[in-house]
Amino acid sequence: MAFIHSNQIEWHHGEASIQKMLHVPYQDNPTSPFLSPHAALLLPHVSLLALGTLDDAGRPWTTLLGGAPSFIRSVGQSIVAIKTPVDPLYDPVINILLNGKDQGENVDQGKTTRIVSGLGIHLATRSRVKLAGKLVAGALDRISMQNCGEMAEAQLVIKVEQSLGMECVKR
């Protein structure tokens, strides 16, 4: 997979103000304006993903997603696919992103894109991946489970517009 490096992302004016106020020496913003190779390599090892979006009123919502290794992975340059079990009735982020679509219906965002952000964590190494982008497509397949109520498998495709892969050194 080829990666093209483009211009760096400047610090948000609020971040720059705090850094100046605290006398933090200037350094370049480590955020990439695409899915960086380092972030793409970390994704298959992520075991927990906090995924957020905004509802129609502009209110932020977050959900926790998890799954077997590779439940989130890079499938193309700056394209991430997520396939994970979810609660179709009580998960606000899934309901917002998939617009209450029914069994097997695809959501093609087209002109009405939903912004999403995520923080993936590999619990064993404490490595983290930050992602920000837009939902491209999604689908929900409902699964009936005995004694567990209703569950579903969500499939989401996200176009990554910013990423940051980080290692956390154990102390």
Is the pTM above the cut of 0.75? yes
| pLDDT tens, position by position, 29-40 | 677 777 888 888
Joined tokens for residue 132: 């920000």
| pLDDT tens, position by position, 116-151 | 999 999 888 888 889 999 999 898 888 766 666 778
First to last CA, the chain: 34
Count CA atoms within 13 Å of residue 63 on its CB side: 20
